[in-house]
Amino acid sequence: MKTQGSRFLAALMVGLFLAWGGEALAGGVIKLGVVTKPGSAQNVCAEKFKELVESRSDYEVKIFHSASLGTETEILQQIQMNSVQIGVITSGPFDVFVPEARVIDYPFLFANSTEADHVLDGPAGQALLKALERARFKGLAFSENGFRHLTNNVRPVHTVDDVKGLKIRVMESILHKELWRVLGANPTPMGWPIYTELQQGTIDAQENPLWVIWNYKLFEVQKYMTLTGHVYSAHIDVASLDWFNSLSAKDQEMIVQAMKDAATYQRKWNRDNEADFLAKSKAAGMIVDESPDLASFRAKAAVLKELDIYKDPKVQDMLKLFLDAVAKLRGN
């Protein structure tokens, strides 16, 4: 009796284990899109995600990089349709799909990466990821592009007045176009990459984190750099919501955790290398203004809050959530 009883108990436990998540992870091919080339911030995150998913499950992750799927906007459209399952995409272009996303790129929002991490990994960031579901994106995690800095080929830029009239390439983002218009430049939205346009002089200026300026050899076509750090650029690591919803709870959890782990790894990589990227760009001949008159930039950028692009109540609410979270961190 005793033996039979314990056998029954063991069988019951196996049954429960299987029913409650002991099932094997399903397999299949996951298509992942990034606009950038190997060695770039997005790719470091994507490659780590691939390594983790493949070691933790039977899925295979295929990375499509170097704009082979089009611009970041086009990759996002493919994710919406589930012809691509995952993207590591710069936060900027998301605001065309979900206006609240422009809150991350609000000028001078975060003073440093510690603030960005706290806010994005906390309730404010989670609320933003949730809002993306309206556009059929499942927000998984935030990795980073980094703080964005201005480069140009016309003149040294120290105060915001020096920006006047510069033909600047901006991301395919409503916020970024408005920001540079307000600052006095002449912005044109374009997908990445933009080396040829800089080389041919169709545009004079661009803005991007230090790794981009180094990795894409912008020092060859841009003489001046100004450490404006005007916008913190995250990557929003997203999945197709339709695809994500079709997975078992166990697979969903594995995907989210793998992306969170990849993002943690990638943020560190970016930060550990920033000083080196700057030193190399200088050594390559760029003239760098390391302490520009940021007060002049802030003063002009402040107008943005009054513009229509921030009037939408959903954007207002999200901005308040983010600003309050930053204030709380600073003890205000």
Least Å from the CB of residue 33 to ligand EAX = 12
Residue 187 vs 254, nearer CB to ligand EAX = 187
SS3 201: coil
Rounded Cα gap, residues 282 and 276, in angstroms = 10
Least Å from the CB of residue 72 to ligand EAX = 6
Q: The dihedral of CA 226, 227, 229, 230: what is its sign?
A: negative
For 196, 204, 213, the CA distances from 216, given in Å and listed in that order, are: 11, 16, 6
Question: Residue 201 has which token pair?
Answer: 């002089």
Is the N-terminal amide bond of 193 cis, ω within 30° of 0? yes
Residue 44 vs 52, nearer CB to ligand EAX = 44
Least Å from the CB of residue 238 to ligand EAX = 14
Least Å from the CB of residue 209 to ligand EAX = 7
Rounded Cα gap, residues 235 and 214, in angstroms = 19
Residues forming the site for ligand EAX (CB under 6 A): 35-36, 90, 145, 171, 192, 208, 212, 233
Residue 44 vs 131, nearer CB to ligand EAX = 44
Residue in 174, 173, 155 with CA at minimum distance from that of residue 164: 155
Least Å from the CB of residue 98 to ligand EAX = 18
Residue 175 vs 325, nearer CB to ligand EAX = 175
The torsion of the CA quartet 66, 67, 73, 76, rounded to 10 degrees, works out to -70
Residue in 216, 241, 213 with CA at minimum distance from that of residue 227: 213
Least Å from the CB of residue 192 to ligand EAX = 4
Q: Are 149 and 208 in contact (CB under 8 A)?
A: yes
Residue 57 vs 90, nearer CB to ligand EAX = 90
Least Å from the CB of residue 171 to ligand EAX = 5
Q: Tokens 């060859």 belong to which residue? A: 220
Rounded Cα gap, residues 258 and 31, in angstroms = 15
Least Å from the CB of residue 84 to ligand EAX = 16
Residue 45 vs 171, nearer CB to ligand EAX = 171
Residue 60 sits at φ, ψ, to 5 deg, of -115, 130
| DSSP secondary structure of 288-305 | EESS--HHHHHHHHGGGG
Question: Residue 319 has which token pair?
Answer: 């901005």
Residue 157 vs 171, nearer CB to ligand EAX = 171
Q: What is the DSSP letter of 97?
A: T
For 36, 92, 205, 317, the CA distances from 174, given in Å and listed in that order, are: 21, 8, 18, 18
Q: Which residue is nearest to ligand EAX (CB)?
A: 192
Residue 213 vs 325, nearer CB to ligand EAX = 213
Residue 57 vs 145, nearer CB to ligand EAX = 145
Rounded Cα gap, residues 120 and 194, in angstroms = 29
Least Å from the CB of residue 244 to ligand EAX = 23
